[in-house]
């Protein structure tokens, strides 16, 4: 990271943990760089923030990652993940209000009056904020601590079990709830494909090819860990019968995209796919004339049809 710092560097970022492999970045080391070069340091704790903060109370040691580390200037943590709040809610914390002011938007010369907003969004739904607040009150400190204890214990049981399965390996030393897998013997996406058919939803990763499981509260239920490890072991045994085969279908497309050196081309392809989600077509009436196809309950002219299913 030090070698990448230039006069144009506006921020240093570390993850706790990193989404792909579940490993913690060296926040203390990054913060020292920030202090040395007078650069703000952001901690991305969006995925694990609402586990990490309760881990010490739950009996687990973790390296310092928050404002107790001199040099850390901001922290993000998603409440819609392990705080179990509604989707779309998150928190962004600053060590000093001078940083918070940078996100404000104020227009003093608008003919419509003085306009100011504290966030990029001019307005936000209050129901999401209320739902988030109610979730925090419902679980409370003791509730979150108990859930964290169960999730971390379950994660470590799964990690230990996966390390005992020949043919796959665990990336790094995951410390929270994400465990990433790779293989030197076969196409790891085949494992994800088989597990998906068994009802397990694992994320496909790239650079290098890998998959990961994000352990949640549901995984802490009795029998889930044993069943998951059993399914993984059985799937690996099946794959070993023909280790040179590769996946097919959508997963194969995902895997092959890593081979395209021009990443902008991949971005263009994804943009075309998203375009199809917004595409509208015409359909014929009984008399042969065409009429706009309604999508999501709306006519192309913008009027809303509440009866459209």
Residues 109, 223 within the same domain? no
Examine residue 88 and state whether it is found in any structural domain, yes or no. yes
**For residues 302 and 309, what is the distance between their CA atoms, to the nearest angstrom?**
16
Residue range 235-260: average pLDDT?
80
Pair 150, 225 in one domain = yes
Model pLDDT for residues 150-195, shown as the tens digit of each residue: 999 999 999 999 999 999 999 999 999 999 999 999 999 999 999 9
Q: Is residue 189 part of a domain?
A: yes
Whether residues 110 and 11 fall in one domain? yes
Q: Does residue 258 fall inside a structural domain?
A: no
Domain presence at residue 150: yes
Whether 141 maps to a domain, the answer reads no
Give pLDDT, residue 306: 38
Shared domain for 9 and 118, answered yes or no, is yes
Residues 214 and 299 in one domain: no
Arithmetic mean of pLDDT over the chain:
90
Average pLDDT over residues 277-294: 67
Q: What's the pLDDT score for residue 297?
A: 42
- pLDDT of 11-51, one tens digit each? 999 999 999 999 999 999 999 999 999 999 999 999 999 99
Q: Provide the terminal-to-terminal Cα distance of the chain, rounded to the nearest Å.
A: 52
Task: Take residue 240 and report the two structure tokens written for it.
Answer: 């070993």
User: Is residue 121 over pLDDT 90?
Assistant: no
Residue 37: predicted pLDDT:
97
Reported confidence tier of residue 300, pLDDT bands at 50, 70, 90: very low
How long, in residues, is the chain?
309
106/36 same-domain check: yes
The distance from CA 28 to its chain's CA centroid, rounded to whole angstroms, is 23
Structural domain span for residue 303:
279-309
Is there a domain that residue 263 lies in? Answer: no
Q: Is the pLDDT higher at 31 or at 296? A: 31
Residues 187 and 231 placed together within one structural domain of the fold: yes
Domain count, the chain: 3
Q: Is residue 270 part of a domain?
A: no
pLDDT tens string 76-101: 999 999 999 999 899 999 999 999 88
> What confidence score (pLDDT) does residue 284 get?
62
User: 265 lies in a domain?
Assistant: no
Which CATH number is 25's domain given? 3.40.640.10
Q: Which pLDDT band holds residue 295 (cuts at 50, 70, 90)?
A: very low
Domain termination residue (choose one: 132, 161, 184): 132
> Which residue among 210, 234, 251 closes a domain?
251
> What's the confidence (pLDDT) of residue 262?
81
Residue 77 and residue 49: Cα distance in Å, rounded? 5
302 pLDDT higher than 60: no
Cβ partners under 8 Å of residue 19, min gap 6: 47, 178
Residues 153 and 114 in one domain: no
Q: Are residues 65 and 127 in the same domain?
A: yes
Q: In the chain, pLDDT over 70 holds for what percent of residues?
A: 88
Is the domain of 14 the same as that of 51? yes
pLDDT higher than threshold 80 for residue 292: no
CA-based nearest residue to 23, from 14, 12, 31, 13: 14
Q: How confident is the model at residue 62 (pLDDT cuts 50, 70, 90)?
A: very high
């Amino acid at each position: 990271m030090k070698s990448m710092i230039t006069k144009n560097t506006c921020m240093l970022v570390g993850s706790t943990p990193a989404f792909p492999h579940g490993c913690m970045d060296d926040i203390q080391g990054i913060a020292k760089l920030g202090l040395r070069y007078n650069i703000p340091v952001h901690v991305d704790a969006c995925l694990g923030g609402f586990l990490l903060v309760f881990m010490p109370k739950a009996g687990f040691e973790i390296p310092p990652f928050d404002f107790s580390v001199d040099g850390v200037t901001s922290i993000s943590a998603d409440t819609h993940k392990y705080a179990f709040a509604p989707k779309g809610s998150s928190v962004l914390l600053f060590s000093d209000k001078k940083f918070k002011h940078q996100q404000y938007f104020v227009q003093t010369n608008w003919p419509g009056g003085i306009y100011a907003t504290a966030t990029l969004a001019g307005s936000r739904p209050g129901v999401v904020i209320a739902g988030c607040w109610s979730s925090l009150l419902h679980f409370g400190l003791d509730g979150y601590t108990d859930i964290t204890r169960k999730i971390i214990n379950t994660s470590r049981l799964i990690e230990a079990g996966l390390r005992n399965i020949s043919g796959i390996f665990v990336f790094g030393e995951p410390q929270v709830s994400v465990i990433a897998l790779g293989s030197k013997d076969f196409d790891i996406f085949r494992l994800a494909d088989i597990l998906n058919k068994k009802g397990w939803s694992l994320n496909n990763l790239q650079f290098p090819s890998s998959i990961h499981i994000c352990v949640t509260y549901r995984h802490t239920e009795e029998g889930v860990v044993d069943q998951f490890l059993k399914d993984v072991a059985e799937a690996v045994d099946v794959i070993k019968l023909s280790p040179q085969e590769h996946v097919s279908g959508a997963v194969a497309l995902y895997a092959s995209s890593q081979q395209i050196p021009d990443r902008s081309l991949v971005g263009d392809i994804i943009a075309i796919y998203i375009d199809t989600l917004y595409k509208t077509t015409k359909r014929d009436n009984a008399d042969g004339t065409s009429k706009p196809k309604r999508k999501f309950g709306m006519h192309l002219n913008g009027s809303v049809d509440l009866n459209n299913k």
